[in-house]
Chain A
Amino acid sequence: MGQSEPRTLFAKIWDAHLVARETDETPAVLYVDLHLVHEVTSPQAFAVLRERGLRVRRPERTVATMDHSTPTTPGRFIVEDAQCAAQLAELKSNCGEHGIELHALGAEHQGIVHVIGPELGLTQPGMTIVCGDSHTSTHGALGAFAFGIGTSEVANVLATQSLLQRRPRTLEVRVEGRLRPGVSAKDLALAIIARLGTSGGAGHVIEYAGSAVRALSMEERMTVCNMSIEAGARAGLIAPDETTFQYLAGRPRAPWGAAWDRALERWRSLPGDPGSRHDKSIAVDADALEPIITFGTNPSMSAPVRGAVPDPASVADPSARAALDRALRYMGLAPGQLLLGHPIDVVFIGSCTNSRIGDLRAAATVLRGRKVAPGVRALVVPGSRQVKRDAESEGLDRVFRDAGAEWREPGCSMCIAMNGDQLKPGQSAVSTSNRNFEGRQGPGGRTFLASPLTAAASAVAGAIADPREWMR
């Protein structure tokens, strides 16, 4: 590779994985280092292999887990939904047939695909990672180019370990300053999405940079990269640094010994060269951010938790006005009303966005010694069995149970509401997940996206709350 042109982090990863360059007529052939698989978007892909008599080309680069449709009922691993059970059985048999590592329901490292990848050290800087799930962008937190694909592409990768891709552009989101107490990575992610809009990142890979990003923990970086897709971006990326290396060191699947030293040398060369240029760039002031909550039906419709619901009458663009009006009617909110104190029925702490140990610790700081408000159902769903074990060894499960919250088994749970964990029509939930689309958490359900701190505070208050009033 020529040294003359300064390259971005993304360009370095892209170049290193080119099997064939793109031309006007054909997209690039991009090699995939790690393919993550789950039960919902893979059965039809394995069927393609069967129809064509193909094998999985690199089973050792393929890792499967059960997460989307698995029950999270405490202590039980019985799948009552016959369709879900059939889907899980099919994943098991597909993995068995092709020699793919599977973290099945109840297994030691089972969990949400985007939680276990980094946790096991499978996700590493400089890799290309794909999964039939849009939140694959999460893995970009470790400096990997990671993105969601559809089932046809899952089949392509299973069969060839490669994908056809047009090279995306890059968008730098530079966040300077420092997040203030009570303001978390989730608030930062929601603020960026509000700024970019739901399609502002389209066609781009976002690289998050700046002092506030450097100061984030690995788990917080995952939260930020996870939400990149909600701004329409292909992926999110953060340059690997000492935080990344410390996080990976000693993880089960991370390199070790001499291989670790070699990897470290390679990883240190990944950050963008001085003078490398992004196609677009925006700046965000971390010091100015407050805890944020969504009030609408897409993740860009948000406001500071102490703010008010906007009035559609004040929106000039007719289609934006109609969308806002429609969203407020769906959410049961009045124009101009304060968000603080708006009553809620459910709190969901979990999902690939916010179900890691740091998220649970944050929620526990608020819930310790307090009670979930009467009439509110609070679910805490750890992202993986490892997160669950870690939380229990710290006594966090006791904190949640003592507060009156449900401490459940790992899975996607109420984020996607496929497994029986769902809202009833008309119920309002403060959720740490990533999507507030109509019906996302159950038909007729109303989702307010927020951080674990805000969710925990709202559980205690029984209404949308400012976590800064409840932190100790």
Chain B
Amino acid sequence: MEPFRKLESRTVVIARADIDTDQIIPARFLKGTTRTGLGRHLFAEWRALPGFPLDGREAAGAQVLVAGPNFGCGSSREHAPWALLDHGFRAVVSSSIADIFRSNALKNGLLPVVVDPTTHSRLLSTPGVRVTIDLEARSIAFDGVRAIFPVDPFSRRCLLDGTDELGFLLAQEAAIAAHEAEELPCTD
């Protein structure tokens, strides 16, 4: 995983609430067996509509997506963060982000940034604004505004270092084996 420390980028705004993972990446694009190449199917249905901001000139190179509340609700498909990353996004900003999506995003180096409603509405109303996201400081700054966002300390460490959870879990082997020796419920 590519480390995430500090990001400076313009934003792309999709203001809708409850953007579900079926919109982010429709199920018919989940038939592959790799994580790559999903960016071209990102928001496949909406992208075909005129005026959708993703492919506009202003959006070129933007790495921060600002979206309406409850972003990423719905299925557990990790294809959603894979598609966003493959398109070039490194952070998603909203006033709330659905649990499984947030967990999946963190594991892939896509930073979920949950900001207060006031900061959120300012971001929604200024598409294309330049933001600076500093993960070490847990801050997002733009237009003279600076907000602090919450991020799980462990996930933050993983993102800053570019490491994933699996190494940490593998190092728990002794504790896992001890738990199995003690508990082992239910399967006999």
Contact = CB atoms under 8 A, between A and B. Distances in A.
Nearest to B77: A41
Given A41-B76, A439-B45, A152 B16 contact: no
Contact of B165 (A19, A132, A156): A156
Contacts of B45: 438-439, 443
Interface stretch (A84-92, A276-284, A335-343, A455-463): A84-92
B171 to A, nearest CB: 10
Contact of A263 (B28, B100, B186): B186
Contact of B166 (A52, A127, A319): A52
Contacts of A124: 186
Contacts of B23: 437-439
A264 B57 CA distance: 64
Interface string B30-70: 11111100000000010000000000000000000000111
A41 B26 CA distance: 14
Nearest to B171: A160
Contact of A152 (B30, B165, B170): B165
Interface stretch (A198-206, A370-378, A464-472): A198-206
Contact of A148 (B26, B33, B76, B165): B76
B78 A152 contact: yes
A31 B179 contact: yes
B175 interface: yes
Interface residues of B, number: 55
Given A151-B78, A199-B73, A44 B33 contact: yes
A152 B104 contact: yes
B16 A33 contact: no
A249 interface: no
A289 interface: no
Tier of interface size on chain A: 35 or more
Interface centre among B18, B96, B164 (most CB of A within 10 A): B18
Contacts of A24: 153
Interface of B: 15-18, 20, 22-23, 26-28, 30-35, 45, 68-70, 73-78, 96, 98-100, 103-104, 107-108, 152-154, 157, 164-166, 168-170, 172-173, 175-176, 179-180, 183, 185-188
Interface of A: 16-20, 24-27, 29, 31, 33-34, 40-41, 43-44, 47-48, 52, 54, 57, 60-61, 68-69, 81, 83-84, 86-87, 90, 124, 126-127, 132-134, 148-153, 155-156, 159-164, 166, 198-199, 202-203, 232, 234, 255, 259, 263, 266, 298, 319-320, 323, 326, 416-418, 435, 437-440, 443
